[in-house]
Copies of this chain bind each other. A is one copy, B any other.
Amino acid sequence: MNTITPRPVDAVIAAVREFLGDRLSTAQAVREQHSRGEDQTPPTLPDAVAFVESTEEVSRILALCHQHGVPVVAFGAGTSLEGHVNPVRRGISLDLSRMNKVLEVNAEDMDCLIEPGVTRQQLNEFLRDQGMFFPVDPGSHCTIGGMCATRASGTNAVRYGTIRENVLGLEVVLADGRVIRTGGRARKASNGYDLTRLFIGSEGTLGVITKVRLRLHGIPEAMSAAVCQFPDLAAAVNTTILTMQSGIPVARIELLDADQMEACIKYSKLEGFRPAPTLFLEFHGTEAGVKEQAEAVEAIASDLGGEGFAWATDAEARNKLWKARHDAYWAAVNFIPGLRGITTDVCVPISRLADAIVGAKEDAIASGLTTCIVGHVGDGNFHQVILFDPNDPAGLDRAWELDRKIVARGLALGGTCSGEHGVGLGKREFLEEEHGAEALAVMRGIKQSFDPKGILNPGKLFRN
């Protein structure tokens, strides 16, 4: 009997197929591609994948899902590391990657309006000739819609802020299909509740973002990169802390520990470096300003035993370095053949960073697991890729156990479980400790107000 009872999702699929045609797919391979992100969660196949091309299509699909109580999970490039795009309660995976048009660029106001499937690389290629760039750079080939949904940041956040500071406004489709605009083109406003910031970091649980208005920045007159290697992890972290406390406006300051450097040297064929704790830096400004900044950091690093402060002012050498940095995650997960990785995302106040990182590495060594640390240390944020053997039945559990230990230490140091990857499935268990039960109840109240039927990315952010 059960097999012939029509499911609510079948009604949605039939109705959506009428206007989406073959852009609504139930093919096994397509559903598998949308069964999880780059995380290690057990995959779940959605009932169907809808490749949308307009706000109107998103609105019609959400209205149908709302009517029939069918879950909807927004999907961009699938780069989530925390299980955000895994449709744990099945339903429709709403693939926004074809909504990838740059709709407006206003050079005079340094802003632009884009569709959510635009990637940061695509946008920056588009902007290059106009002397502007979009600074938020999580490294992966993610979409900007996904970056908004997870409140992403990355290497440049220490200077230019996270996505939160670089979005002026959004267009959002609500759970029942209504379409709203938030924010505006003015640089600041005090005109009611900050809906823009509420959707940023809401992980697809309050609405589906269909347009984004971004702040842009002028390409600096001068840029230079530098690399410096250290005798131990503490020296590299303390150089970061002193640099930040001195107010030097570094554009990027990234830490790679000895294991991560070894992985990067191998993966990205970096020459001339040792597998030692290393800082990658970038300076933006005028010619004189960049020189002044780099000299100030070099002096701090030298005092702490940093060696071989090497400058790269030409674009090619700089790009090679940053390509290696961006590939650090892949270098780490490919470090030991056959192993896989999960990653932490702890962020602490800068004064506690040495305790957090050195302690996390000690925990890892005690656990017997190999880990690579790479971090946006200017913000106090670091990732520890924990490698585990997928053929060992207890392997993933041991990795999670270490992850929990590192997060607990971060929270005890006044930090957060997630600096930039989001909560998704992976960090739900920490939210109550971090925010307290009452604040979490307030968040649930907001969810209830926006999505009374619970169709938007159910199972994420909250534990049930």
Please list the residues of chain A having a beta carbon within 8 angstroms of any beta carbon in chain B: 106, 108-111, 150-153, 157, 161-162, 164-165, 174, 178-182, 184-195, 197-198, 200-202, 206, 217-218, 220, 241, 245-247, 285-286, 288-289, 292, 345, 347-351, 379-381, 414-423, 427, 430-431, 434-436, 438-440, 442-443, 445-446, 448-450, 461
* A418 contacts B162, C-beta separation under 8 Å: no
Q: How far is the CB of A166 from chain B (nearest CB, A)?
A: 11
List of B residues within 8 angstroms of A150 by Cβ: 190
* A351 contacts B151, C-beta separation under 8 Å: no
With A349-B111, A436-B181 known to touch, is A188 a contact of B445 (CB < 8 Å)?
Answer: no
Q: How far is the CB of A266 from chain B (nearest CB, A)?
A: 30
With A436-B180, A443-B193 known to touch, is A186 a contact of B449 (CB < 8 Å)?
Answer: no
CA distance A170 to B232 in the complex (A): 37
CA distance A438 to B174 in the complex (A): 10
Complex A-B: 20 CB contacts under 8 Å: A109-B349, A109-B351, A151-B194, A161-B165, A179-B438, A184-B434, A186-B379, A186-B419, A187-B347, A187-B350, A188-B379, A191-B417, A191-B422, A191-B435, A192-B461, A193-B198, A193-B202, A218-B246, A285-B289, A289-B289
List of B residues within 8 angstroms of A431 by Cβ: 191-192
List of B residues within 8 angstroms of A201 by Cβ: 190, 192-194
CA distance A289 to B198 in the complex (A): 37
Return the chain B residue nearest A452 by Cβ: B445
Most buried by B among A151, A152, A220: A151
* B422 contacts A181, C-beta separation under 8 Å: no
* A188 contacts B349, C-beta separation under 8 Å: no
CA distance A164 to B188 in the complex (A): 10
List of B residues within 8 angstroms of A184 by Cβ: 414-416, 434
